[in-house]
Each structure stands twice: as structure tokens, then as C-alpha cells.
Copies of this chain bind each other. A is one copy, B any other.
């Protein structure tokens, strides 16, 4: 896997990424896309979402903006028609009846290139696809060595049902297109002490997929690796400077801004999963 190459493509092609995302982390997502070398537009008014996607290289749908699902559907269908990658972040999927229902609509009406969530969000989607109805899924948010085989199986199931690359982020990241499966072991615990780690990663997935729309698996691996390696750089800085989670958030975006292809290739802990 050529991680550095994926990063280079983002910087060379500077993809315009349209994010329909939640108000909590929208600023961080825009700055993260810019840090990687992309260009963000956060247009999400239902009256213009589909028109805006015509000039975008990729579309990000973040379910944290649960009130904007109509915009996601309209822009998502347009992106599908234009052959632009669409990324889904099923924030808190399965947690409420509303989110289960809105997830089901999105999966039924839009084809996604990548679906990224934590372990419990991916499990919720997979169960929903299998049973045809929303379920309340509980359990751990993060994948451990112990729960890894089952988490991989769940991710593969969702990938096969949806045709999307499925990315499960956590201490161990899982990436699968149903056929190939990769693990990434980068990042740090402080990433769970800021809001928006997941949202920013999804925005980054939009930038990487927008730069290489025909290779969503490789693009997704590149984005996840960039985030993990940047997280480690930011953690080094946090410990050295005695700062806290707020500075870590800023340093994390900076680390993507300053990340070189060599640092990415050298820092990534990647393995092909054979299970």
C-alpha cells in the first residue's frame, strides 16, 4: 500500500470536498480538509446541496447533522449520478429511533464509497442491513485484539451488503472492501478526549477519495493512516509541552498540515489481515 502517494494526490489535485456535517465539529472538519491540501465547502441547505455537489470532487454525509438528511439524500443521489464518491459517517447510529430510521433511508437511497464509524456504529449498520430494521446495538465502541475477529466479520458483512469500503476506527482500525482487509495500529488515546476525531477523519476520507475516486480502498487506507500518524505526532507535542486536549486538537490538524509522504510511509503500522 502506497500511503504517501495517496497524500500526494490530495495535495496535487486539491479536491473540493462538500461536507454535510454537524455544527459541533464543522469548523474542525473544514480546517482538516484544508490541512490535507483539499478545499472544503460546507453547503448543506436543501435548496442548493445537490447543485453544490456538481463542482465537488467528493461528498461527506455526517449523521451528526441528523436534521439535514434531506440534503444528504438530494446531494448523495446527485453525487451518485455524477460518479463522485460519497462518504458516510453514521454518528451515533443505532442510539435513537430517529438515527436508525435516517440511516436506513440513507443506505437505501445512496450508494456510499466509504462508510466510517466506530465499532458500535458499524455494528448497528450491519445489523440493520441484515435484519431490515433498526436495532439498538450496545457493546464496546473500540475494537480490541479479542473482539477483532468478530469486528472484521461485521465490517466485511456491511461492505458486502453495501458495496462500500468499511472503515472501523479505534485503537485498531479495520478497513475492508469485503475482499481485502487491512489493519492499522496508529493513533493515541488522547484522540478520544477531543470532540471531532471521528468527524475530522471522515472529512479527511472525503479529501482522499476526492483525489483518487477510482481507488476508495487505497484512498481510505491513506486517510486513516494520515490521521493515525498525525495523532501520534500531536501526542508527542502534548506530552512535551504539557498541554491538554484543546491544544491537542489544534496540533492534530497542524500535524496533517505538516505531514510528509516520508513520515507517513515511515510511521504507519499496517498489516494485511488474514483471518
Contacts and interface: CB of A to CB of B under 8 A. Distances in A.
Interface of A: 22-28, 30-31, 34-35, 40-43, 45, 47-48, 51-52, 55, 66-67, 92, 95-99, 193-196, 242-247, 249-258
A30 B34 contact: no
A102 to B, nearest CB: 9
Given A23-B26, A34-B195, 12 more contacts: A23-B23, A23-B42, A24-B26, A30-B195, A31-B249, A35-B193, A43-B96, A45-B98, A47-B98, A48-B66, A52-B95, A244-B256
Question: Top 10 nearest A-B pairs by Cβ distance?
Answer: A244-B257, A244-B254, A246-B253, A30-B195, A48-B96, A48-B98, A246-B250, A23-B23, A47-B98, A51-B96
From DSSP, what is the main secondary structure of chain A's interface residues? helix
A251 to B, nearest CB: 8
Contacts of A52: 95-96
B42 A24 contact: yes
Copy count, this protein chain: 3
Nearest to A238: B254
18 contacts: A23-B23, A23-B26, A27-B196, A31-B246, A45-B98, A48-B99, A51-B96, A52-B95, A242-B258, A243-B258, A244-B258, A245-B257, A246-B250, A246-B254, A247-B250, A247-B251, A247-B254, A250-B250
